[in-house]
Structure 1
Amino acid sequence: MQLIGMLDSPYVRRVAVSLHVLGQPFAHQPLSVFSTFGQFQQINPVVKAPTLIADDGTVLMDSTLILQWIEAQAPGSRLTPADAAQHLHDLRLTGLALAACEKAVQTVYEHRLRPAEKQHAPWLDRVGGQLDAAFAALEAELARVPLAAVQEALTHGGIATAVAWSFTHLLLPGRVDAAAHPCLEAFTKAAEQLPAFRACPQT
């Protein structure tokens, strides 16, 4: 299978890390939806990252749908907790982390793609508040139920959480106070040292 997209995208990196954890071999094409738009468009006319090309040529997109399919192809290895209560908790972590990614991406796009005189302050304030709320909720969840930064214990929620925190600090340095989120900071620092994360550097 082939994974298309840049690892500085949290959604692409989420899939890449998950593939490594699940032991699924893949080829990576680091195409940008900006600088290599035309080349990306030839593979997927929608030009959405991540894009995954299955072995039969089927083109998939959206990180959650891609991971749903990948996990079904990985017998004996899962990122979804088997216990119903743990699964529910993991879905909450995943949803919060993906919300944080979305709001961070929206902030980056507003600052980088829109001229300064056309940036909409109320929109940035609203998105910033949503970003803060997502990370505050994640911090509370990790304080209540700590995540183990062990590759064999990683779940969809754990991977998405670490990827979201790292992405936000890379693209929006200083925007979210690490000292105010000690559980998130400690878990992500430890997760970034695991083989699956080190194999997929975001820079």
Structure 2
Amino acid sequence: MILIGRNLSPFVRRTAASLNLLGLHYVQRPFSVAQNAEEIRGFNPLGRVPALVMEDGEVLVDSSVILDALDELAGPDRALVPRSGTARRAVLRAVAIGVGATEKVVGAYYESRRPDAVRWEEAQAKLTAQAQAGFAALDRLAEAGGWLCDENLTQADVTAVTGLDFADRVLPDLAAGRFPALAALRDRANAIPAIGDTRFKD
């Protein structure tokens, strides 16, 4: 399999970490949406990452779709999202909050990069508050001291970790010590090579 995109994107990174955790072999083409737009559109007409080229040549786009396919490949005993029931719903809820918080970080980051004359301060403040509310909800889940939804690590943890790391990288004041339980979980997860080794390196 071929993973398209670089791990600066939290959505590419959660895909890479999941591939590692599931023991699925892949190679990565670390294309940047800014510098390799044409190459990326060859895999995804939207020009977005990640994309995953499957072994049979099928191309999957969007990390949620890719991760669902990877869980299916790995089988129910190894999948990072439980197969059914309340456990599945709990993980999917936490994943949705993590993805939503991360998307708000992305929006706030892009707003922060606008020239002062066209920056919409109210929108940036709203996006920041939404991201903080999402991370706060995950922080409350992390207060029990285990993983977010289970005694085992799940996709909820992978998504939360990659989202918080991204926030700390691009908008360090957004989290800035506000989520200590989630930060502790993040550090524990990053100590696992399958996750920690996917951190973006300049």
What's the TM-score, normalizing by structure 2?
Answer: 0.91
- Would the aligned equivalents of 2:132 and 2:174 in 1 still touch at CA under 8 Å? no
- Residue 198 of structure 1 is matched in structure 2 by 196
Distance 2:183 2:197 in 1: 20
Equivalent in the alignment of 2:128:
128
Query: Equivalent residues in 2 for 1:178-189 (5 A)?
Result: 178=177, 180-189=178-187
Identity of aligned pairs, percent? 31
Deviation at 1:135, TM superposition (A): 1.1
Mark the CA change 1:83 to 1:61 in structure 2 (over 3 Å): closer, same or farther. closer
Question: Which residues in structure 2 correspond to 1:1-203 (within 5 Å)?
Answer: 1-75=1-75, 76-82=77-83, 84-112=85-113, 114-144=114-144, 146-147=146-147, 153-178=152-177, 180-203=178-201
Q: Deviations over 1:128-182 (max 9, x none)?
A: 111111111111122257317xxx932110111111111110111122132x311
2:40–2:49: 8 Å Cα contact kept in structure 1?
no
Structure ranking higher on relative contact order (CA contacts 8 Å, 6+ apart): 1
3-state SS in 1 of match to 2:74: coil
Q: Which runs of 5+ in 1 are unaligned?
A: none
Count of residue correspondences: 198
* Matched residue SS, 1:43: coil
TM-score when normalising by structure 1: 0.91
In the alignment, the residues of structure 1 paired with residue 160 and residue 110 of structure 2 have an alpha-carbon distance, to the nearest angstrom, of 21
| Contact 2:189–2:196 under 8 Å retained in 1 | no
What amino acid does structure 1 have at the position aligned with 2:192?
A: L
Q: Give the RMSD, CA atoms, in angstroms.
A: 1.8
d(CA) in 2 for partners of 1:68, 1:125: 33
